[in-house]
């Protein structure tokens, strides 16, 4: 028999979401530092929701006695992952040339008041990664495409878990 507490405690779903987020972040860092795939700005933006979910998971586990916080953080995790899926969909659209990328796609950091020599040195030293060029794909799907699927699946799990935890703990 499965203990009732398993369905009323947000810690297990939070741990699973945290582990999945850590895995996605680890994979991104392995691609970047292990295989030399430099991320574009949209790739970097897609990492932030996973960082947020990881932080939410840690808070849920560490502060389990705060009534309702874990439930709320499961909802926040779901919303963060939906935002990440939105960024990933936008990135896929940029890769497929359905729309233009942001102003920082394919450009270097803000130049401010640099001299021509400083600007030239920065441009020569900075590897430029364009958002509209697919660096890696598997079965014709880019990393951003896989991120759409992963983010949506994790968001659905987070929101369904939050509903289940809230419904079962309220009764």
pLDDT given at position 126 = 62
pTM: 0.81
pLDDT given at position 47 = 94
Model confidence over 129-138: pLDDT tens digits? 777 677 877 7
Backbone dihedral region of 95: left (phi > 0), alpha (psi from -120 to 50 degrees) or beta?
A: alpha
pLDDT at residue 82 is higher than 50: yes
Q: Which CATH class is domain 5-102+132-170?
A: mainly alpha
Closest listed residue to residue 47, CA positions, set 126, 147, 167:
147
Q: Compute the distance between CA of residue 52 and CA of residue 85 in angstroms, rounded to an integer.
A: 14
Residues 78-86 have a mean pLDDT of 96
- Helix or strand holding residue 22 (H, E): helix 11-29
Please answer whether residues 49 and 63 qualify as being in contact, where contact means their C-beta atoms are separated by less than 8 angstroms: no
The residues, any chain, with a CB within 8 Å of residue 128's CB and separated by 6 or more, are: 106, 107, 108
Q: Compute the distance between CA of residue 115 and CA of residue 108 in angstroms, rounded to an integer.
A: 15
Please answer whether residues 31 and 143 qualify as being in contact, where contact means their C-beta atoms are separated by less than 8 angstroms: yes
pLDDT given at position 30 = 94
Q: Compute the distance between CA of residue 150 and CA of residue 145 in angstroms, rounded to an integer.
A: 9
Model confidence over 88-130: pLDDT tens digits? 999 898 888 888 777 777 654 455 666 778 777 766 666 667 7
Per-domain residue ranges of the chain? 5-102+132-170
Q: What is the largest CA-CA distance in the chain?
A: 72
pLDDT given at position 1 = 45
pLDDT at residue 154 is higher than 50: yes
Q: Compute the distance between CA of residue 150 and CA of residue 144 in angstroms, rounded to an integer.
A: 10
């Amino acid at each position: 028999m499965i203990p009732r507490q398993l369905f009323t405690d947000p810690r297990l779903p939070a741990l699973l979401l945290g582990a999945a987020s850590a895995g996605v972040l680890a994979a991104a860092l392995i691609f970047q530092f292990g295989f030399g795939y430099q991320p574009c700005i949209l790739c970097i933006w897609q990492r932030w929701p996973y960082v947020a979910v990881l932080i939410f998971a840690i808070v849920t586990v560490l502060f389990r006695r705060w009534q309702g916080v874990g439930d709320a953080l499961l909802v926040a995790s779901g919303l963060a992952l939906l935002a990440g899926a939105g960024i990933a969909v936008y990135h896929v659209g940029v890769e497929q040339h359905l729309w233009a990328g942001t102003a920082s796609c394919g450009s270097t950091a803000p130049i401010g008041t640099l001299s021509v020599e400083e600007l030239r040195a920065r441009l020569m030293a900075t590897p430029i990664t364009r958002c509209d060029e697919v660096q890696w794909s598997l079965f014709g799907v880019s990393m951003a495409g896989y991120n759409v699927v992963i983010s949506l699946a994790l968001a659905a799990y987070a929101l369904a878990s939050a509903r289940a935890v809230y419904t079962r703990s309220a009764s």
